[in-house]
């Protein structure tokens, strides 16, 4: 496999472990990153988090223009609202796994329509923080 895996995280995910642990669990973002690096199996991995839509779009552009072989993205609340994020992902042209810690389809109706799903290769939702490891391993298989 050549290239790297990019794992991009959107708003409020820096608060994992503290923010509504009854919904999102007690795992921190640092622990999530460690899980992703282990799941990458030595493949280069770029792991980032931002609370800013434009920064997330810029990172997708970097992945598109760089050596990214695939992308795991948890856009958080931007999943349901961000046309700029959707447009950036349309340009990526390689496997994209959309990831959500919770099962967005079992939540309030506002969380049921993902813009990102329209361009994602696959969607993982509802596995909690362990979904990240599943996503990275699955992406490795897709780009293998």
Residue 102 known to bind ligand: yes
Catalytic residue chosen out of the listed positions 61, 100, 105, 111: 100
Residue 58 known to bind ligand: no
* Cross-strand pairs, 46: 6
Max intra-chain CA distance, the chain? 40
pLDDT digits (tens, 9 = 90+) for 91-128: 999 999 999 999 888 877 877 789 999 999 999 999 99
CA dist list (Å): 77 to 28, 49, 119, 142: 18, 13, 17, 26
100 catalytic? Reply is yes
111 catalytic? Reply is no
Domain that residue 123 falls in: 4-143
Count the domains in the chain: 1
For 108: left if phi > 0, alpha if psi spans -120 to 50, otherwise beta; the answer is: beta
Query: Domain holding 112: CATH number?
Result: 3.40.50.9100
Residue 67 known to bind ligand: no
pLDDT digits (tens, 9 = 90+) for 36-66: 999 999 999 999 999 999 999 999 999 999 9
């Amino acid at each position: 496999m050549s290239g790297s895996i990019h794992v991009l995280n959107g708003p409020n995910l820096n608060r994992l472990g503290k923010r509504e642990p009854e919904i999102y669990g007690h795992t921190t973002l640092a622990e999530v990153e460690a899980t992703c690096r282990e799941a990458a199996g030595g493949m280069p991995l770029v792991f980032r988090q931002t609370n800013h839509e434009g920064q997330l779009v810029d990172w997708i552009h970097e992945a598109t223009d760089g050596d990214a072989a695939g992308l795991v993205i948890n856009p958080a609340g931007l999943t349901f609202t961000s046309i700029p994020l959707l447009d950036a992902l349309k340009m990526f042209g390689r496997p994209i796994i959309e990831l959500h810690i919770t099962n967005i389809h079992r939540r309030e109706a506002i969380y049921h329509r993902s813009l990102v799903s329209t361009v994602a290769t696959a969607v993982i939702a509802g596995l909690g923080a362990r979904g990240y490891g599943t996503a990275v391993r699955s992406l490795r298989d897709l780009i293998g």
